[in-house]
Amino acid sequence: MTLATLADVLGPALSGGYAVAGLVVLGWEDARAYVDAAESEGLPVILQAGPGCRRHTPLEVLAAMFKTLGNSAGVPVVAHLDHATSIKECRHAIDCGFTSVMFDGSHFPLEQNIELTAEAAQVAHSAGVSCEGEIGIVGHSGGKTSSSTVPDEAEQFARSTGIDAMAISVGNLHLQRAPSATIELDRIRAVESVVNIPLVLHGGSGIDTKMRQRLAAETAVCKFNIGTELRMVFGKALRSAMKKDPNRFDRVEILKETEEPVRETTRSIIRSIGPQRLSQPN
């Protein structure tokens, strides 16, 4: 199966009342575990290259990795650029083969965010690629503060940019190590009453499983970005592998032991927010 766009997987999610997992990739081992998990569940997955990943690995390498996994998978796989802050970076990712880009202009004034995000969407759509934008500011746990999405601004943003999906700030935070976010359901309802596109929640690790399930089934939230939760599983598995034998040095053998724990946690995440009638667990 060839790579899919964000619109390819989120359109059915919006109409079907479920969500797709946007999973933060840091390397080959976790990316492969994510796709294996999606295949086991018979559901799509979004592989995301965020700023931290891109500082470590060139976009050309990430694109080749995502394309290799997507083209050999039996389920839709989206190659997604997360939190791009320039049109140049979006163009570069598209040229490399990414099928989806997220332009993050949330830190700009509304008019500038609209202008730049609309340009990113035009660039993406002209190449047959999807575009996600962000309105409101999603803060970081212990860091940058949030600014909740204003429904009227969200309507203007969605209408004026032509984006395929819209990330919103409704109590979700990046980098939360525990599911402690207090989600503003009323704000989500207000936003979805004035827009007709899939909504995205960044900082999905901070949202507990029951709330994710509820949002996926009952609202227009069709994508949860999840990274910290899976990185913690990876780190625990890596420490366990090293403790088995302090003299081990073969990185391939050590890193192999991280894949099963990450894969099984990913399966649980994908299954919990997906349409149960389509799940095909082994």
Total residue count of the chain as it appears in this document: 282
Cα–Cα distances (Å) from 59 to 4, 64, 90, 129, 131, in that order, read 18, 8, 11, 16, 17
The answer to whether the CB of 192 falls within 8 A of the CB of 220 is yes
Burial group, residue 32, by CB count within 10 angstroms (0-12, 13-18, 19+): middle
**CA dihedral sign, ordered 111, 115, 117, 121:** positive
List residues with catalytic annotation. 82
Instruction: State both tokens at 102.
Output: 């997220």
The answer to whether the CB of 29 falls within 8 A of the CB of 259 is yes
Rounded to 5°, the CA angle 111-114-120 comes to 145
Rounded CA-CA distance 63/93 in Å is 8
CB atoms within 10 A of CB 29: 20
Residue 189 bridge partners (DSSP): none
Report the half-sphere exposure of 167 (CA within 13 A, side-chain side).
Answer: 31
Instruction: State both tokens at 271.
Output: 């299954």
Sequence-distant (6+) residues with CB within 8 A of 109 are: none
